Each structure stands twice: as structure tokens, then as C-alpha cells.
């Protein structure tokens, strides 16, 4: 809640200057990811509820600068895939994001009832993957260094707060001059392959236990928990696909409310508030 108040403090004061050009936006939908435990480009499988709130400043009738806070959850499980069932890994992480982007309406909503729109920008997000061990104990994975981070082949522990590139688009509908509804999907280009704690190869088991502990080895490979009772793979055997970074995305519905009374700036020039009749 403190972070949310802090983020919104950057945008809401603009309303004191020119409220009719500021929109408050709420978002509801789903969050999901693509990575080593879910390789489909887009799927509703393993999706989770996502919520958001933010604000937009109307630069022109079709161009906006927007800031949003979104929260959701990501998860993946080898049991739901076919390629790596014997690996038997899974993860879950809460996800929080602050993004700042430019949004462009392809049509003018002052003249048309709806429009496609596009957006792109930059975001800061936080994640912290965890799993439950064979005894049901919740365990965070990053401190364990399950691929030998901290000692093996020069690997370092990944940061839990990182930068992403958000982009996407959707359809926006003008209910009236002060309320708009949008349906969108937004992808996040990441610069890490560890949002699911899986990336490259297995560390040598003996060295992993000696450096990072038995729990790290237990959760680096969980095929031994299956009925087949598979053995820990050889050192440097493939564990994930390091050549492909992870992604996550939000998709859902947004509702925007103009702050302040009256019509929009129809000419796109600050200070001119003439309001001709909407053309449909």
C-alpha cells in the first residue's frame, strides 16, 4: 500500500494543473508467463488474477503518457507440460510492477465510438519465486542458488527487482466524454531467464550440496519424488533453455475516468476547452 501511494503521487498532482486532461484508470484481468516451465507463447493455463490502478495524461487527443501499478501472480509446473515431466519442477511468485509508457489511439475517440490502441514503455517489477518441498514447506528459491549461483562456473544470483519493456495494445470504447473501457493484452520483454528459477544447466550435485546445502540439491531436481525415482542428472546436463529469456504478460479490461468536470480539450491545445458535439 505504501508503494502504491508513492507511485500515484507522481501522477495525481497533475490534476491540480489541468484535471480535464487526466484520467484515472483501473485494471482487472489475468497474469501469466512464458518460460522454462511453460513454453507456450500465450495460454490461459496456469493464469492468475491481476489488478491494477494508474493515471494517464492526455498530451493530445490521441497520445497519452500513462503510469500504472499492477499486481498479479505467476506460476508454472512441469506436471502440466509434456517436455520435462521427469524434471518435476514447479514455482510460484507474487508479481508487482510499476510501468511508465506512451499510449497511442489509432483513431480519435472524440470523433469515433471506439479505436484500436498501442502502447510501449519501461517498467520496474519485483518477483520472488518459491515452491513447496516434499513435506509441504514453503521455500524461496533464489537464496538457494539451485543452479550453483554464487560458486559454480561464474554464475551469480539473480536480482529480484528488475527492468522490463512493456508493450501491447487493445481496443478502447468511449462510453461518454468521461468514461472509457479498454480490452488489452500487454507483454513484458524481460532481461532475465530466472523468473521461474530455471535457466541453464545442473550444477554438480556434490559441489551444490557442499556450497549451497542439501535443500538446494533437493529442489534443483525433483524427479526422485516421482514413482520412477529418477537420479539427479550429471553435472552440466541441460536444466533449462538459457538462450531464451522469460516473458510475462497481463491481459484484461481497463476502465478510465476523467478527473474533473466538463468536456475534453478538443483542439489538443492547453487552455482551449471548447466542446463540439461528438460525431459517431
In a domain, 164, yes or no: yes
| H-assigned helices in the chain | 2-8, 14-18, 205-212, 214-220
pLDDT confidence tier of residue 9, bands split at 50, 70 and 90: low
Beta-carbon-side half-sphere exposure of residue 159 (alpha carbons within 13 Å)? 10
- CA angle, corner 127, sides to 37 and 223, nearest 5? 30
Q: Is residue 275 situated within a structural domain?
A: no
Domain at 188, CATH number: 2.40.160.20
Model pLDDT for residues 238-268, shown as the tens digit of each residue: 999 999 999 999 999 999 999 975 554 444 4
187 in a structural domain: yes
Q: Which domain holds residue 175?
A: 2-129+159-196+245-258
* Number of domain units in the chain: 1
Tell me whether residue 68 is in a domain.
yes
Q: Is the residue at 112 inside a domain? A: yes
Please state the separation of Cα 24 from the chain's center in Å: 20
Q: Is residue 270 part of a domain?
A: no
Q: Count the neighbouring beta carbons within 10 Å of the beta carbon of residue 138.
A: 9
CA–CA separation, 241 and 244 (whole Å): 6
Q: What is the pLDDT of residues 104-150, one digit of tens each?
A: 999 999 999 999 999 999 999 999 999 999 999 999 999 999 999 99
- The mean pLDDT of 98-103, rounded to a whole number, is 98
Distance of CA 16 to CAs 140, 152, 211, Å?
A: 44, 55, 56
Please report whether residue 77 resides in a domain.
yes
Phi, psi for residue 57 in degrees, rounded to 5:
-110, 125
Question: 59 falls in which pLDDT band (50, 70, 90)?
Answer: very high
Contact predicate 157/150, CB 8 Å: yes
| Residue 264 belongs to some domain of the structure | no
Amino acid at each position: 500500500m505504501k508503494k502504491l501511494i508513492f507511485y500515484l503521487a507522481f501522477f495525481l498532482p497533475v490534476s491540480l494543473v489541468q484535471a480535464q486532461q487526466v484520467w484515472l484508470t483501473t485494471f482487472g484481468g489475468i497474469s501469466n508467463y512464458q518460460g522454462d516451465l511453460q513454453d507456450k507463447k500465450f495460454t490461459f493455463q496456469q493464469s492468475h488474477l491481476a489488478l491494477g490502478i494508474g493515471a494517464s495524461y492526455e498530451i493530445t487527443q490521441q497520445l497519452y503518457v500513462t503510469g500504472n501499478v499492477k499486481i498479479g501472480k505467476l506460476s508454472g509446473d512441469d506436471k502440466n507440460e509434456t517436455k520435462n515431466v521427469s524434471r518435476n519442477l514447479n514455482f510460484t511468485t507474487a508479481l508487482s510492477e510499476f510501468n511508465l509508457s506512451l499510449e497511442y489511439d489509432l483513431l480519435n475517440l472524440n470523433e469515433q465510438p471506439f479505436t484500436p490502441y498501442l502502447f510501449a514503455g519501461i517498467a520496474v517489477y519485483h518477483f520472488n519465486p518459491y515452491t513447496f518441498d516434499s513435506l509441504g514447506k514453503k521455500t524461496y528459491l533464489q537464496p538457494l542458488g539451485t543452479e550453483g549461483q554464487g560458486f559454480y562456473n561464474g554464475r551469480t544470483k539473480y536480482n529480484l527487482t528488475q527492468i522490463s519493456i512493456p508493450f501491447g495494445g487493445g481496443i478502447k470504447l468511449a462510453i461518454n466524454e468521461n468514461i472509457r473501457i479498454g480490452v488489452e493484452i500487454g507483454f513484458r520483454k524481460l532481461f532475465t531467464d530466472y523468473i521461474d528459477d530455471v535457466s541453464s544447466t545442473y550444477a554438480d550435485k556434490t559441489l551444490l550440496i557442499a556450497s549451497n546445502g542439501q535443500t538446494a540439491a533437493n529442489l534443483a531436481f525433483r524427479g526422485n519424488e516421482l514413482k520412477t525415482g529418477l537420479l539427479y542428472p550429471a553435472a552440466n546436463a541441460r536444466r533449462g533453455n538459457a538462450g531464451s529469456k522469460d516473458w510475462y504478460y497481463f491481459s484484461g479490461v481497463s476502465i478510465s475516468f476523467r478527473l474533473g468536470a466538463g468536456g475534453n480539450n478538443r483542439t489538443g491545445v492547453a487552455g482551449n476547452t471548447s466542446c463540439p458535439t461528438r460525431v459517431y
